[in-house]
Chains A and B, each alone.
Chain A
Amino acid sequence: MTALPRPASFARLVSPRSTPVLIVVAAIITFAITSGPILLAGANPLAAYTEFLVVPLTSRFSILEVLVAATPILLTGTAVALAFRGGYWNIGAEGQLLSGAIAAAAIGQLEGVPSLVLLPLMVVGGAVAGAAWAAGPAYLRVRFGIDEVVTTLLLNPVALLLVNALLHGPWRDPVSGFPESPRIAAAAEFPALLDRSRLHLGFLLAIAAVVVVGYVVARTPAGLRLRAVGLSPGGSRFAGIDVGRTLLLTALASGAIAGVAGVGEVAGIQFRLTSGISPGYGYTGIVVATLGTLTMPGVAISALFLGDLTVGASSAGRALGIPSQLGPVVQATLLLVTVALLAIRRRRTVVAAASPDAAATVSGALAAEIAVELPPGDAPADGRDAP
Chain B
Amino acid sequence: MRAAPGEAGRDASLVELRGITKRFGPLVANDAVDLTIARGEVHALLGENGAGKTTLMRILYGLTLPDAGEILVEGRPIAIRSPRDAIAAGIGMVTQHFSLVRPMTVAENLALGRGGIVFDARDARRRAADAAERYGVRVDPDRRVADLSVGEQQRVEILKALARDCRVLILDEPTAVLVPQEVEGLFATLRRLVADGLGVVFISHKLGEVRAISDRVSVLRRGTLIGTVPGHTDERELARMMVGRPTFGVARTEDGPPDAAEAVLRVHDLRVAGRGVDALRGISFDVRRGEILGVAGVSGNGQTELVDVLVGMRRPDGGSMTVGGVELAGASPSRMVAAGVGRIPEDRHASLVSELPVAYNLVLERIDEFTSGGRLDERRIRDHAEQLIARFSIRARPEDPVATLSGGNVQKVLLARVLSRDPQVLVVSQPTRGLDVGATDDVRAEILARRAAGTAILLVSEDLDELLALSDRLIVLYEGRIVGELTAGEADPERLGLLMAGRAVESAA
Contacts and interface: CB of A to CB of B under 8 A. Distances in A.
B70 to A, nearest CB: 20
Interface string A356-387: 01001111111111100000000011111111
B404 to A, nearest CB: 11
Interface string A57-80: 000000000000000000000000
A289 to B, nearest CB: 18
Interface stretch (B46-54, B180-188, B277-285, B384-392): B46-54
Given A224-B376, A241-B364, A368 B87 contact: yes
A247 to B, nearest CB: 15
Contacts of A235: 349-354, 364
Contacts of B52: 385
A200 interface: no
Contacts of B349: 235
B115 to A, nearest CB: 8
A166 to B, nearest CB: 40
Contacts of B55: 383, 385-386
Interface stretch (A191-199, A225-233, A303-311): A225-233
Interface in B55-108: 55, 58, 61-64, 82-84, 87, 92-99
Nearest to A367: B83
Interface in B343-383: 343, 345, 347, 349-356, 360, 364-365, 367-368, 370-371, 374-376, 378
B99 A385 contact: no
B318 interface: no
A363 to B, nearest CB: 4
A365 B83 contact: yes
A238 B343 CA distance: 9
A237 interface: yes
Given A381-B347, A384-B54, A365 B407 contact: no
Nearest to B403: A353
Contacts of A234: 350
A381 to B, nearest CB: 7
A224 B369 CA distance: 13
A364 B97 CA distance: 8
B92 A239 contact: no
A139 B356 CA distance: 27
A364 B99 contact: yes
B35 interface: no
A384 B49 contact: yes
Given A240-B337, A383-B55, A387-B50, A219 B364 contact: no
A240 B356 contact: no
Contact of B53 (A367, A385, A387): A385
A228 B338 CA distance: 20
A238 B82 contact: no
Contacts of A239: 333, 351-353, 364-365
B50 A232 contact: no
B351 A238 contact: yes
Given A228-B364, A231-B354, A239-B364, A386 B376 contact: no
Nearest to A381: B347
A232 B353 contact: yes
Contacts of B375: 219-221
A384 B53 CA distance: 10
B24 A387 contact: yes
Nearest to B462: A384
A236 interface: yes
A381 B299 CA distance: 15
A383 B349 CA distance: 16
Contact of A364 (B83, B112, B360, B374): B83
A237 B308 CA distance: 12
A1 interface: yes
Given A228-B353, A238-B350, A385 B113 contact: no
B425 interface: no
A78 B351 CA distance: 30
Contacts of B50: 384-385, 387
A355 interface: yes
A364 B63 contact: yes
Contacts of B351: 235, 238-239
A360 B63 contact: yes
B146 to A, nearest CB: 16
A210 to B, nearest CB: 18
Contacts of A364: 61, 63, 83, 93-95, 97-99
Given A240-B332, A384-B54, A232 B113 contact: no
A113 to B, nearest CB: 33
Contact of A366 (B99, B299, B355): B99
Nearest to B97: A382
A144 to B, nearest CB: 18
Nearest to A360: B63
B57 to A, nearest CB: 9
Nearest to B61: A364
A357 B87 CA distance: 18
Contacts of B367: 221, 224-225
A387 B433 contact: yes
B54 A383 contact: yes
15 contacts: A219-B375, A224-B376, A228-B356, A235-B364, A238-B311, A238-B343, A239-B365, A240-B364, A360-B63, A361-B97, A364-B61, A365-B92, A380-B97, A383-B55, A387-B407
Please provide the 7 A-B residue pairs with the shortest distance between their CB atoms, ordered closest to farther.
Answer: A240-B334, A385-B54, A368-B83, A363-B99, A366-B99, A364-B95, A239-B364
Given A238-B343, A364-B93, A368-B82, 7 more contacts: A221-B368, A224-B367, A238-B345, A240-B333, A360-B63, A384-B50, A387-B50
Interface of B: 24-25, 27, 29, 49-55, 58, 61-64, 82-84, 87, 92-99, 112-113, 115, 157, 160-161, 299, 311, 313, 332-334, 336-337, 343, 345, 347, 349-356, 360, 364-365, 367-368, 370-371, 374-376, 378, 403, 407, 433-434
